[in-house]
A and B are shown apart, each in its own frame.
Chain A
Amino acid sequence: NAGVTQTPKFQVLKTGQSMTLQCAQDMNHEYMSWYRQDPGMGLRLIHYSVGAGITDQGEVPNGYNVSRSTTEDFPLRLLSAAPSQTSVYFCASNGQGKGEQYFGPGTRLTVT
């Protein structure tokens, strides 16, 4: 089991560029989530999914888009990068009723 994998580990973008952060899990988990981590603010939920084809917004969804076409994959798209999106991004997954979320290694994104 690879668990939760994320690519890339590091990325630098210019303002206005778009990109996709990849997330995959091999544990057949129904629930997947994207968080961003900023200094002094803990992790905040961007978008989440309760199963293939079902997504919803979290606390800070603006500027991000998600889709869930398969159980395994949950990509996060930045539509037009802004310096305010400089952050560390984590993908996580958990099985129904299991509670514990498994986290990927994170992506450090810098927008200049």
Chain B
Amino acid sequence: KNEVEQSPQNLTAQEGEFITINCSYSVGISALHWLQQHPGGGIVSLFMLSSGKKKHGRLIATINIQEKHSSLHITASHPRDSAVYICAAGGSQGNLIFGKGTKLSVKP
């Protein structure tokens, strides 16, 4: 069993839809990271959270420490949101354990 599990693996949505990506982890963490990777390789850090909820524009990330579960929500999805979204468990030394990623495709 992987230490960080993401679902779904692939997700296709219509523009405007509300999107949820889930992440479960089995390791102790100092923080949970959500990252976005576009084709070509560039990775952008979206959120780092250790409790509660964070919001940035149309993106919302939540975490339940007791259940070891986090979700990333995208409201009013847009084709430019198409990317791979990666959840990563962060250790105390900065070491990240990555989930396998969710490939999101938003159709116009």
Partners in one complex: no
Chain B residues within 8 Å of A, Cβ to Cβ? none
Chain A residues within 8 Å of B, Cβ to Cβ? none
